[in-house]
Structure 1
Amino acid sequence: MQNPAGPVRSTFTGFCAAVTALLLIVACLFFSGCAGQKETPASNSPDFQPVKVFCTIYPLYDFAKNIGKDKIDLSCLVPPGTEPHEWEPTPRDLASIQEANLFVYCGAGMESWVDKVLNVVAGPELNIVNASRGIQLISGQGEEDEAGVKQQNSGDTSEDQVALNISGDVREDHSAVDPHIWVDPVNAMKMVENIAAGLVQADPANKLFYETNAREYLNELEALHNDYRNGLARTTHREFITSHAAFGYLAKRYGLVQVPIRGLSPEVEPAPARMAEIIKLINEKRIRYIFFETLVSPKVSQIIAGEAGAGTLVLNPLGNLTTDEIDAGKDYLTVMRENLVNLQKALEVAES
């Protein structure tokens, strides 16, 4: 008599063999695919080696921090609380940069010493990022380099706007390029893209990590730009008095008129004629507030405000933060929003 279980056992045995063969094929495909990928150690692994990054000034440092996070060992050359315009690197700084994987500088003339440094530190292991790459630069008076229109912002060339290029001597060459590109959130977005590209070049194994973080931060900068655009759309007047000419890009972006007490450098004292012209302008335009900065003495702004019967407010150009500001958790985004609040107050934004 034929065993009825025979065909069933035979079929089951064949099924198991087929499944085993299929699993072997899948395993081979999986491991062959993984063999072509380089595993990167986790940041808490003993084998982890963060990308060593040096940035020249605070805005670059903050941007890189948001992109690189725990994958990078990040340093800022200019110490907290130091005004960056007159700072220069030491031989020790140069030695540290030479050991880095990535060096990020602002460009646009912000670091007058950078060309000499690059000649010293350049090497095959050091990736270099000029954060101003791709940004249209403007001069110290706010006009685009190609236009040659003498005004504090290049959004309007009317006679009233041009007249605000008051004649008082600030003892500085106004044809120089304005290096304060980061005060415009749209420019900041381009700077973030440049830094992210540099990190990918220095550490291609973590490309997705850097690009994902950059996209998230770009969304925050886009929201900041929208807040400025909407928040400054209904100003009573467009003129704002600044301690030095650090806000030309912001003025250009949002249709405002920067009137600086000093030129591009906050260290250059204004001539008496300049101060007199600004006081006259304040009275003519009925400007209620004058801005000063956290890292520059407010004395001149206070003198002008006292003569004109105006108040004072802080407008932080974000070239650097103080230790107290950093300890309080402030960063580029929070300070820019503080600036927006003070601009709205000074420009007397109409309620919608």
Structure 2
Amino acid sequence: MNKVKRNVVGFLLAAVALVAAGCGTANEQAASGVPDKDDNITVYTSFYPLQYVAERIGGDLVEVKNIVPTGVEPHDFEPTAKDIVDITNADLFVYNGSGFEAWAEKAIEGLDQAKITVVKATDGLELLPAGEEHGEEHEETHEHGTEDHGHGEFDPHVWLDPTLLKAEAEKVKDALVARDQANSQVYEQNYQQLAADLDKLDGEFQQMANGATHKEFLVAHSAFGYLAHRYGLTQIAVSGISPSDEPSPAELKALVDLVKEHQIGYVLFETLASPKVAEVIAREANIQTATLNPLEGLTKEEAEAGKDYLSIMRDNMETLRTVLQ
């Protein structure tokens, strides 16, 4: 985390301490660590996929609030002092970890974990190194977007592999059960339904990948390593782990040459970041553009249309079906 971000988080934590000093009565109500039976459990999540998971598992028994607003790219998001104070009044705080939310890693240091259950959803998962291109059928590593970019040594985008999102969801389920044992059966049933939906999605992706003519796809942002690794594909990334990273002119030229060498017909950009670099690649290499959604958050249009993790992942699957012909 750079100096500016450390200062911002430090200021927010100081603000939390000041506000908390004036909110003792409210906090004392949760002192036992068990929610009032008449109230829903309040769950704060750090970004959209975890919000989706918590809503599916908790159902009507929980109130889920996502810290990152709809339409905001979460990589460089910084919470307000109010956001941090709100988290201190939650029953559960769920974040991805592994370098994805630098602010969350720091913020939890100021939380009373005797009152607030903190779930780091990537704990115990087998993580891929940051900045590498992954695919079972390709040993070559392309040198585009391989710098660390301040997001840690591991790629945090685990939710784009449905089986890994299922593993994250299980941690959320376990936390809810521990917090509210009276409703453990409801949480377990909801989790099992979600797990079945994710298993079905996984099977559909595997079938699509098995039928693909090509196994490589070019993306503007190195977010799809877990998806590629799961289904025997290879992502070639224009930028690194953060979508704000841009390649140098020399790297752009190398990418254009790579596109021609591998007969790649599309460059894929995402929903919450600028398509500028992808459009340059498309123009220089005379290829088409399409959207591959990293599901780091919903756009306002997606939210209004009722889109969710499953529907957007199936949109991604159809895009890849076309791109990999």
Per the shorter chain, which TM-score range?
A: 0.7 to 0.9
| Whole-angstrom CA distance in 2 between matches of 1:280 and 1:65 | 45
In the alignment, structure 1 residue 67 sits paired with structure 2 residue 67: no
The aligned counterpart of 2:242 is 265
- Secondary structure class of the residue paired with 2:102: coil
- Secondary structure class of the residue paired with 2:271: coil
- Structure 1 unaligned segments of length 5 or more: list them: 1-39, 42-46, 143-151
- Secondary structure class of the residue paired with 2:217: strand
In the alignment, structure 1 residue 339 sits paired with structure 2 residue 310: no
The 3 A distance-change label for structure 1 pair 169 and 257 is closer
Contact 2:209–2:231 at 8 Å: present in 1 too? yes
Q: How far apart are residue 114 of structure 1 and its match? A: 2.1
Q: Counterpart amino acid of 2:104?
A: V
The aligned counterpart of 1:58 is 48
In the alignment, structure 1 residue 286 sits paired with structure 2 residue 263: yes
Query: For 1:253, which of 209, 218, 230 is the aligned residue?
Result: 230
In the alignment, structure 1 residue 210 sits paired with structure 2 residue 190: no
- Secondary structure class of the residue paired with 2:64: strand
- Secondary structure class of the residue paired with 1:162: coil
- Structure 2 unaligned segments of length 5 or more: list them: 1-34
| Whole-angstrom CA distance in 2 between matches of 1:178 and 1:167 | 16
The 3 A distance-change label for structure 1 pair 132 and 168 is closer
| Whole-angstrom CA distance in 2 between matches of 1:59 and 1:254 | 20
- Secondary structure class of the residue paired with 1:135: coil
The aligned counterpart of 2:164 is 187
1:310-329 maps to which residues of 2 (within 5 A)? 310-329=287-306
In the alignment, structure 1 residue 138 sits paired with structure 2 residue 139: no
The 3 A distance-change label for structure 1 pair 76 and 168 is closer
Between the two proteins, the alignment pairs up a number of residues equal to: 290
| Whole-angstrom CA distance in 2 between matches of 1:154 and 1:260 | 13
In the alignment, structure 1 residue 115 sits paired with structure 2 residue 105: yes
TM-score (norm 1): 0.79
The aligned counterpart of 1:98 is 88
| Whole-angstrom CA distance in 2 between matches of 1:66 and 1:123 | 24
4+ aligned runs moved over 6 Å, structure 1: none
1:134-182 residue CA offsets vs partner (Å, 9 max, x unmatched): 210011234xxxxxxxxx11524xxxx333x334566545972101010
Query: For 1:199, which of 176, 182, 192 is the aligned residue?
Result: 176
Contact 2:163–2:199 at 8 Å: present in 1 too? yes
Query: For 2:78, which of 70, 88, 95 is the aligned residue?
Result: 88
The 3 A distance-change label for structure 1 pair 91 and 301 is same
The aligned counterpart of 1:153 is 134
- Secondary structure class of the residue paired with 1:73: strand
Q: Counterpart amino acid of 1:53?
A: V
Q: Counterpart amino acid of 1:244?
A: H
Choose 170-179 or 131-140, whichever is displaced more. 170-179
RMSD of aligned residue pairs (Cα, Å): 1.8
| Whole-angstrom CA distance in 1 between matches of 2:145 and 2:109 | 36
Q: How far apart are residue 234 of structure 1 and its match? A: 2.0
| Whole-angstrom CA distance in 2 between matches of 1:340 and 1:301 | 20
Query: For 1:276, which of 236, 253, 262 is the aligned residue?
Result: 253
| Whole-angstrom CA distance in 2 between matches of 1:260 and 1:175 | 18
Query: For 2:142, which of 162, 166, 171 is the aligned residue?
Result: 166
Contact 1:196–1:211 at 8 Å: present in 2 too? yes
Q: How far apart are residue 304 of structure 1 and its match? A: 0.4
The structure with the largest alpha-carbon Rg is 1
Q: Percent identity?
A: 38
| Whole-angstrom CA distance in 2 between matches of 1:320 and 1:175 | 21
- Secondary structure class of the residue paired with 1:75: strand
The aligned counterpart of 1:222 is 199
1:57-91 residue CA offsets vs partner (Å, 9 max, x unmatched): 00000011111111001100000100000002221
Q: Counterpart amino acid of 1:87?
A: F
